[in-house]
Structure 1
Amino acid sequence: MTPQKTPYLILSLAACPFASMAADSGFFEGSSATLQARNYYFSRDFSDIVGTSQQSKAEEWAQGFILTYKSGYTPGPVGFGVDALGLLGVKLDSSPDRVNSGLLSTRESGRAADEYSRLGLTFKARLSNTELKVGELQPNLPVLAFSDIRLLPPSYQGVAVSSSELAGLTVQAGHLSTTSLRNEAGDDKMLAMLGHLPQRQAQSDAFDYLGGDYAFNDKRSSLSLWYGQLEDIYAQGFVGFKHSQPVGNWLLGANLGYYSAREQGDELLGKIDNQAFFSLLSAKRGGHTFYLGYQAMYGDSAFPRVFANITPLGNEVPTYEFAYTDERSWQVRYDYDFAALGAPGLTTTVRYIRGDNVDTGLGFEGKEHERDLDIAYVVQSGSLQGLGIRLRNVAARSNYRSDIDENRVILSYTWTLL
């Protein structure tokens, strides 16, 4: 898990001592490896700026590489294996007045780093349908979502176990001690976010979680129950329900969830009191999918999460979270898959969310709204087959936090190496 500081990170896996293991052991037979190149342009303009930072724009352009290797398992009742994650980010354009986009590290000089890189290893063991992992981890849980929304994905360092011994039931538990942020190479202690504000005055030595998901009704329904704890800051519980139901030519869906959080341990951020409910209903027919969502915050605090993640809340998006103290929000969304018109690979999403009833602590009700437009295309044939292009345009307005106009252009291509 030692961070690598040179641009030759992608070649470093070739030096790993995997070749010493028997090729016929199953370790190599079950191996897979991919290399994804991700070119990312991010621009976020601020107006009616609220807060201590008066930076009016965050705009950067970078090239990222994500190398993922997953081994098979050695034979025997207990199988052993090794996974590896290699990350490299390279600056293409930035300046001191446009930093902090989340794509690149920002140095003490106020300038973005020319490059940053990391090599993380995960040692794993499997017995029956139970798997233990130690090292570099990327959990995706209701209490700690995998937020791959910038140039490179974040990761955590610790131990995790996942078990699916009973049909339909998956149980997971873990202890995470440090994190590598999406735009950093090293290991850092974890911070909390309350609503949209990072709480940099308090650091935690661990995040612990335990939970399970049970699928039933021919896997059309699932029930989730989870607990997560950011040591000495907050403890959070979650219960969720998902269901999909064919009705004629339609496929109806429901995603419901409830969170409850309190302060924990030494209470480094003081008292925390948050309950959050969300519902996201969907209706799909052909290439059309319609969504309607409602989300509500209760208690004296905003929604807590580990910095700098988004969460599975129904109305949370990567720009505004709609999760501040006492906030109520509605969402309407429409997706279209152009494969229904004979243009496979082309998809669009348009979404509008409006929130109000925010307790700003400033003597007035907070209100905000956001409009998102996403267009994505994956080339289906020819020499560029598999090349993905995604465009994102956002307009977000608030009377208690900075307004945002945002544009993203993301190009990605993945090579299968093994």
Structure 2
Amino acid sequence: MTHNTSKLCVLLSAGVSAGFAQAAESGFIAGSTATLQARNYYFSRDYSDIVGPNKQSKAEEWAQGFILNFKSGYTPGPVGFGLDAIGTLGIKLDSSPDRVNTGLLPVQDDGEAADEYSRLGVAGKMRFSRTELKAGELQPNLPVLVFSDIRLLPPSYQGASITSNEIAGLTLQGGHLTSTSLRNEAGDDKMQAMLGHLPQRQASSDAFNYAGADYAFNSNRTTASAWYAQLEDIYDQRFFGLKHSEPVGDWVLGANVGYFDSSEDGRKLIGDIDNQAFFSLLSAKRGGHTFFVGYQAMFGDSSFPRVFANVSPLGNEVPTFEFAFADERSWQARYDYDFAALGIPGLVASTRYITGDNVDTGQGFEGKDRERDLDISYAVQSGTLKGLGVRVRNVTARSNYRTDIDENRLILSYTWTLF
């Protein structure tokens, strides 16, 4: 058994044993689930017309990751108790100092990527009626803090959260987070902000507070949302959203509309912030075909703020460009095809083109962006290889005020259901 395999087994046994040690009640054990995903990730970005102090012309790495998720059931009684655990392990397969900073692996002080990194996080949970309280390692997925599992290993946060579904159709959530473990780091650290795509490393915060409500009605075809978030002493943010789907004959029409209003908070550690962001993404689905058109607009003097290094639910944000700089206006056209309509379930292809302009670059000229994405993925649906997935991504992104990018990703994954 290799050192890395032994380490993974330690993570697995520690997570499961810690959970079982909390209780021997039948509900705790009978309701438990555990999965282990192996994720092999190749990431390559070529940079040209480089803007900024970093003159690195290429970021290219290959790594192997393992993600263990354990979720217990709840002990019997009016108040149930349980435990969740996540163990992660990342292993370097290929890298060099001139090709680091892909987001797959930590970069050491000597400029080399770490050979491996790992983490074990545990959260206790308590359930009363249809309300759940968690404390410890969390992976929230919220309009104001989107779960960005877009590299080798997922990020996580440390803190407490509460979710309540006591009223039919209404989900209430709130939380207080004190630190984060980034997607390519093993330890905890304070949280920083991003404006547009630029990390604001001059300041950090040990408090992210949020509260929000989602109300589903109209036979769950319509959901209205209202949220508030605060990265203490850096920014605060309000979000209002509406999602709707409507069957019309052989078609299903959809709409996803949202509005963010952001400003500085407390001690204003990164200065004044003034951003209002509107987005709309309309869709039309028939059979295996889905067509999208989106419009997004930034208002105010600042770019869109979010917690580093997260994505956001903005309709035109993609993993390469965000189209969220000050005053930017952007349009998107997208087409998806699900090959299940042709008798090949599990095979999905997507292509999209986004163009943005009117960017306030602060340099006396109008900034413009454009990006073309192509994604193809396949998940084996049955047989011996069920649980195997492959995804290919190719991107061309161009701008007259930021670095141009040509990107390729190849992701292989396999998920085992342990119990």
- Where do 1:187-336 residues align within 5 Å? 187-336=188-337
Determine the structure 2 residue equivalent to 1:136: 137
Determine the structure 2 residue equivalent to 1:394: 395
Determine the structure 2 residue equivalent to 1:405: 406
Whether the 8 Å CA contact 1:10–1:87 is kept in 2: the answer is no
Whether the 8 Å CA contact 2:19–2:84 is kept in 1: the answer is no
Distance 1:75 1:364 in 2: 65
What per-residue deviation string (whole Å, max 9, x for no partner) do you get for residues 193-212 of structure 1? 00010000011111000001
How has the CA–CA distance of structure 1 residues 21 and 230 changed in structure 2, closer, same or farther, with 3 Å as cutoff? closer
- Where do 1:163-202 residues align within 5 Å? 163-202=164-203
Secondary structure of the structure 2 residue equivalent to 1:14: helix
Whether the 8 Å CA contact 2:25–2:75 is kept in 1: the answer is no
Q: Cα RMSD between the aligned structures? A: 1.2
Secondary structure of the structure 1 residue equivalent to 2:29: coil
How has the CA–CA distance of structure 1 residues 18 and 234 changed in structure 2, closer, same or farther, with 3 Å as cutoff? closer
Q: Aligned pair 1:57/2:66, yes or no? A: no
How has the CA–CA distance of structure 1 residues 17 and 346 changed in structure 2, closer, same or farther, with 3 Å as cutoff? closer
Instruction: For residue 386 of structure 1, report the CA deviation from its aligned partner.
Output: 2.1
Instruction: For residue 162 of structure 1, report the CA deviation from its aligned partner.
Output: 0.3
Instruction: For residue 17 of structure 1, report the CA deviation from its aligned partner.
Output: 4.1
What percentage of residue pairs aligned between the two structures are identical? 73
Distance 1:202 1:21 in 2: 39
Determine the structure 2 residue equivalent to 1:110: 111
Instruction: For residue 20 of structure 1, report the CA deviation from its aligned partner.
Output: 4.1
Distance 2:20 2:272 in 1: 53
Distance 1:358 1:162 in 2: 38
Distance 2:365 2:67 in 1: 45
Distance 1:385 1:30 in 2: 23
**TM-score if structure 2 supplies the norm length?**
0.97
How has the CA–CA distance of structure 1 residues 20 and 309 changed in structure 2, closer, same or farther, with 3 Å as cutoff? closer
What per-residue deviation string (whole Å, max 9, x for no partner) do you get for residues 55-94 of structure 1? 0000000000000000000111100000000000000000
Whether the 8 Å CA contact 1:9–1:119 is kept in 2: the answer is no
Determine the structure 1 residue equivalent to 2:341: 340
Instruction: For residue 21 of structure 1, report the CA deviation from its aligned partner.
Output: 5.3
Determine the structure 2 residue equivalent to 1:12: 11
How has the CA–CA distance of structure 1 residues 19 and 123 changed in structure 2, closer, same or farther, with 3 Å as cutoff? closer
Instruction: For residue 7 of structure 1, report the CA deviation from its aligned partner.
Output: 6.2
How has the CA–CA distance of structure 1 residues 88 and 250 changed in structure 2, closer, same or farther, with 3 Å as cutoff? same
Instruction: For residue 381 of structure 1, report the CA deviation from its aligned partner.
Output: 3.4
How has the CA–CA distance of structure 1 residues 363 and 19 changed in structure 2, closer, same or farther, with 3 Å as cutoff? closer
Instruction: For residue 384 of structure 1, report the CA deviation from its aligned partner.
Output: 1.8
Whether the 8 Å CA contact 1:168–1:216 is kept in 2: the answer is yes
Secondary structure of the structure 2 residue equivalent to 1:142: coil
Whether the 8 Å CA contact 2:65–2:88 is kept in 1: the answer is yes
Instruction: For residue 12 of structure 1, report the CA deviation from its aligned partner.
Output: 3.2
What per-residue deviation string (whole Å, max 9, x for no partner) do you get for residues 347-396 of structure 1? 10000000000000000000010000000011233322221000000000
How has the CA–CA distance of structure 1 residues 10 and 401 changed in structure 2, closer, same or farther, with 3 Å as cutoff? farther
Residue type matched to 1:331 in 2?
Answer: Q
Determine the structure 2 residue equivalent to 1:357: 358
Residue type matched to 2:130 in 1?
Answer: N
How has the CA–CA distance of structure 1 residues 329 and 81 changed in structure 2, closer, same or farther, with 3 Å as cutoff? same
Residue type matched to 1:146 in 2?
Answer: F
Distance 2:382 2:18 in 1: 37
Distance 1:207 1:21 in 2: 29
Secondary structure of the structure 1 residue equivalent to 2:340: helix
Secondary structure of the structure 2 residue equivalent to 1:291: strand
How has the CA–CA distance of structure 1 residues 22 and 365 changed in structure 2, closer, same or farther, with 3 Å as cutoff? closer
Determine the structure 1 residue equivalent to 2:375: 374
Secondary structure of the structure 2 residue equivalent to 1:8: helix
Distance 2:245 2:400 in 1: 37
Whether the 8 Å CA contact 2:135–2:159 is kept in 1: the answer is yes
Residue type matched to 1:117 in 2?
Answer: S
**TM-score if structure 1 supplies the norm length?**
0.97
How has the CA–CA distance of structure 1 residues 149 and 18 changed in structure 2, closer, same or farther, with 3 Å as cutoff? closer
Secondary structure of the structure 1 residue equivalent to 2:137: strand
What per-residue deviation string (whole Å, max 9, x for no partner) do you get for residues 111-164 of structure 1? 000000000000000000000000000000000000000000000000000000
- Where do 1:69-84 residues align within 5 Å? 69-84=70-85
Residue type matched to 2:367 in 1?
Answer: G
Distance 1:49 1:22 in 2: 56
Instruction: For residue 342 of structure 1, report the CA deviation from its aligned partner.
Output: 1.1
Secondary structure of the structure 2 residue equivalent to 1:120: strand
Instruction: For residue 6 of structure 1, report the CA deviation from its aligned partner.
Output: 9.7
How has the CA–CA distance of structure 1 residues 161 and 271 changed in structure 2, closer, same or farther, with 3 Å as cutoff? same
Determine the structure 1 residue equivalent to 2:68: 67
> Paired residues, what number?
414
Distance 2:106 2:147 in 1: 20
